[in-house]
């Protein structure tokens, strides 16, 4: 069995256990395999092991990889779902709108407007998560929690987009209760938006180090990279 297949099985077992711990069905949590800095061959190995959703942080690398993987799989290959999870420059929105199904990192109305305008007519609406700076870190992207509602209503009204939920990368914490507390803050903002009439269904939160805490607090998408693909090499990024 290949290392990537073994790793996917181990992560899936962790997800199932955490979902059961929180009284949720395992299929309520989607595993997003973060394939940044790994080549098409690693993605194809994960596809062969049954993985279908992949996340990319770097735009040009992601677009090149999508095209290479699609070419390798051919028309008869399984349908894959590509998520853009990196920072978005306003002059780089068109390739994101053209090649990805999901975007997790919208934090400004201008970016959402450009994605809406540039989404090709033949494609399904782009699925959007707003990135929230839940820990208030100066080094982190994301809209402040108190500003999320205003942005959410504006994004929800745009054509060619479907607002699905929220994403966050909290400040790292080793303590399980501290991890839970940060994710609980995001869940509170999410619940407030739903109570305000927005039809949200997605909480994109949790990575390798805080996976269990995120799932216990209601994550519907967890983003896992190195625990699947191995140590990253950033010299090519």
pLDDT at 138 over 90: no
Q: What is the mean pLDDT of the chain?
A: 95
Phi first, then psi, for residue 87 (nearest 5°) are -65, 150
pLDDT at 122 over 80: yes
Res 236 pLDDT > 50: no
Crossing angle of helices 148-156/176-195, nearest 10°? 50
CATH architecture group of domain 3-229: Alpha-Beta Barrel (3.20)
Q: What confidence tens digit (pLDDT) does each residue in 186-210 have?
A: 999 999 999 999 999 999 999 999 9
Residue-wise pLDDT for 29-47, tens only, equals 999 999 999 999 999 999 9
Decide if pLDDT at 28 tops 70.
yes
Task: Check: CB of residue 180 under 8 Å from CB of residue 107.
Answer: no
Rounded to an integer, what distance in angstroms lies between the CA atom of residue 148 and that of residue 155? 10
Question: Quick one: tokens of 11?
Answer: 């992560």
Global pTM reads 0.95
Residue 235 clears pLDDT 60, i.e. is over it: no
* pLDDT for the residue 234: 65
pLDDT, tens digit (0-9, with 9 covering 90-100), for 147-159? 999 999 999 999 9
Within 10 A of 95 (CB to CB), how many other CB atoms are there? 15
Run of H or E including 117: helix 109-118
- Whether the per-residue pLDDT at 223 is higher than 90: the answer is yes
142 contacts 168 by C-beta, under 8 angstroms: yes
From start to end of 57-188, where are the E strands? 81-84, 102-106, 126-131, 161-167
Give the residue with greater pLDDT, 145 vs 231. 145
The answer to whether residues 53 and 44 touch, using CB atoms and an 8 Å cutoff, is no
């Amino acid at each position: 069995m290949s290392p990537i297949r073994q790793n996917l099985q181990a992560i899936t077992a962790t997800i199932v256990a955490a979902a059961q711990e929180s009284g949720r069905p395992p299929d309520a949590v989607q595993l997003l395999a973060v394939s940044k800095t790994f080549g098409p061959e690693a993605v194809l190995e994960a596809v062969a092991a049954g993985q279908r959703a992949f996340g990319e942080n770097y735009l040009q690398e992601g677009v090149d990889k999508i095209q290479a993987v699609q070419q390798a799989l051919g028309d008869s290959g399984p349908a894959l779902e590509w998520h853009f999870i990196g920072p978005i420059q306003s002059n780089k929105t068109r390739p994101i709108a053209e090649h990805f199904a999901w975007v997790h990192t919208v934090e400004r109305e201008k970016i959402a407007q450009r994605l809406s305008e540039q989404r090709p007519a033949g494609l399904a609406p782009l699925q959007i998560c707003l990135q929230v700076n839940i820990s208030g870190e100066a080094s982190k992207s994301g809209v402040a929690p108190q500003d999320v509602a205003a942005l959410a209503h504006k994004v929800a009204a745009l054509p060619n987009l479907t607002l699905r939920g929220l994403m966050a990368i909290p400040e790292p914490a080793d303590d399980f209760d501290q991890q839970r507390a940060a994710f609980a803050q995001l869940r509170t903002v999410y619940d407030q938006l739903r109570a305000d009439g927005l039809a949200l269904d997605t909480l994109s939160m949790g990575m390798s180090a805080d996976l269990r805490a995120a799932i216990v607090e209601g994550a519907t998408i967890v983003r896992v990279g190195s625990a699947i693909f191995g140590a990253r090499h950033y010299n090519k990024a």
